[in-house]
Each structure stands twice: as C-alpha cells, then as structure tokens.
Amino acid sequence: MKARNIVLTIFLGGVVLPVSATMPAAAADKVERSRDASRFSDRDMVRDTKDEKEQLEKALKTGEEKEFYRRELEKAGFMITSVNYDKPDYVEYEVVKGKNSYEVQIDFDKNSHKAKKVDVAFNAWQTEATERALGQNKKVAFPKGTTANPERYSDRDRARSSKDDEKQLEQALKTGESKDFYRKELEKMGWKITSVNYDKADYAEFEVVKGQQSYEVQIDIDKNSHKAKKIDVVTNIWRADATKKALDQTTTTQSRR
C-alpha cells in the first residue's frame, strides 16, 4: 500500500511546529490498476474481436446437422474445449482460438435434427478446460463427455439469471455525478472494485465483483464538468487477475459450506 506524507500542526508552548507524518493511502488505492488495460477492457476487446465473431456466425449457418458444426469450427481453427449441453434440441460448445473464447449455442428441430437457430456469444463463464486451453494455446482433444454442472458455465443460463443484477446496477449508477460518487455507490451496494482498467479525465472503467457475479462499469465523463454523461454496465468477460482471484475465493468459500 502506498503511503502519503502530510503535515501535522502541533502546538508546543505557544509555538506552532510543523511535523511530517505518514498516513496510509485511501482504500481506493488498494484496487489493482490494470497494467494492460486493453487486454482486459471489455469495451476494447469487443471492438477488437468483432470481425472474428461475425465471421464465425456467418460460417455456422442454420439448416445443418450437428456434425457439420463440429467440422466447421475445426476448419475455422477453433478448438471445442467443452460441451456444456448435448441434447436432441440444443447443443452448446465452448470454443477457443488463440486468446479468444466464444460460446456456440445451437437450437435444433427435434424432427429434422437440423439447426433452426445458431448464436455465437462471448464466453464469460468459462470451464476449467477452456481456461487451460486459453493459457496453453495448445491443441486439445474433443471432450469425452458433457460439462458437470453446465448451468454454472453456460452463458445462456447465466446471462438470464444475472439480468436483474445488471439492471439494478445500471439504475443505481445514474449519470451527472463525479467519479468518487460511483466508487462509494458501488461499495454501498456490496460490490467490490477489483480492478481499475482506465482512470482518465474523460473515461473510467472498473471491474466489480459481488458473490459469483462480475461486471465492468464503463463511465464516460464530461471533461469540463467532470461529471458522468454516460454509464454502461456489461458482463465482465475479459477479467483482470485480481478479479479472477476474487471470484475464485468466493467459489472456494461456497464449496466448503
């Protein structure tokens, strides 16, 4: 923790003596400042991976049977690291290519066994196999079975359950306030700021954690008034190390109960 030097004024025998003292930094200074903001900023990463995601969505056209999608993903250079669901009417894959991971969600017609809808989502809740593949950047074998407790990792499931939290957070963080207001408001609501990705005159970006949920709070600030003119709350997909650690601690604590 950084320390701040301040001057204390002491009255001794009618004489005012300035005394240098060291005070601990404010609690906000404990928050990790991202060393590579562009790598963890969801606003930046969504922009950078937009073309790849769109190309994948185009390649995975509807009207095909299950095996087509597995072949097409491999042809496009993606590894299927986890099969979260493998049902007659729905299949869900976690896929990895380089440093990026997506969730491929395929709805099938029960009669024709062909896909009627295909969605490609950014993979926010990753299985351990997916995290390992991202770290190693090495080819992995197709999973032998489906994911245990898939509702914990399925972005379709988790996005549905976390929608209310996201809405409440957006409503609480009204525009027209200074940066410090948002720090205090987040803490008041029980959210822990685990990483500050950006802290500029016109833009601030926080990663926050509460329980097993993590969001990225993106605040656009007016340079003249120093007050927020736009606030976005998004599911935190690309997480800083401190954010991952906070989420892991919550998972470990809950598993011990």
Walk across the sheet containing 213-221 and list its strands: 32-33, 192-199, 203-210, 213-221, 228-235
CA distances from 44 to 53, 110, 206 (A): 14, 39, 13
Contact at 8 Å (CB) between 79 and 96? yes
The predicted structure's pLDDT at residue 252: 58
Reading the chain (257 residues) residue by residue, the pLDDT tens digits are 444 444 444 343 444 444 433 333 333 345 555 556 767 888 888 888 889 999 999 999 999 999 999 999 999 999 999 999 999 999 999 999 998 999 999 999 999 999 999 999 999 999 999 999 987 768 899 999 999 999 999 999 988 878 888 888 989 999 999 999 999 999 999 999 999 999 999 999 999 999 989 999 999 999 999 999 999 999 999 899 999 999 988 765 554 55
Phi then psi for residue 239, to 5 deg, are: -100, 140
Is the same domain home to 179 and 204? yes
Q: Which of 85, 118, 150 is the last residue of a domain?
A: 150
DSSP assignment string, the chain: --EEEEEEEEEETTEEEEEEEEEEPPGGGGSEEPSSHHHH-HHHHHHHHHHHHHHHHHHS-SS--HHHHHHHHHHTT-EEEEEEEE-SSEEEEEEEETTEEEEEEEEE-TTT--EEEEEEEE--S--HHHHHHHHH----PPPSSPPSSGGGT-HHHHHHHHHHHHHHHHHHS-SS--HHHHHHHHHHTT-EEEEEEEE-SSEEEEEEEETTEEEEEEEEE-TTT-SEEEEEEEE--S--HHHHHHHHHHHHHHHH-
Does any domain span residue 52?
no
User: 67 is in which domain, residue-wise?
Assistant: 63-150
Q: Note whether 128 and 69 are same-domain residues.
A: yes
User: Is position 224 within any domain?
Assistant: yes
Do both 20 and 86 map to the same domain? no
Quick one: 166 and 118 in the same domain? no
Same domain, 163 and 251: yes
In a domain, 50, yes or no: no
User: Do 145 and 169 belong to one domain?
Assistant: no
* Same domain? 135 vs 204: no
CATH code, domain carrying 212: 3.10.450
Beta-carbon neighbour count of residue 114 at 10 Å? Answer: 13
Burial class (CB in 10 A: 0-12, 13-18, 19+), 8: exposed
Residues 236 and 163 in one domain: yes
Euclidean distance between CA atoms 15 and 18, whole angstroms: 10
For residue 100, what are its two tokens?
């990026």
Do 145 and 196 reside in the same domain of the chain? Answer: no
pLDDT of residue 212: 87
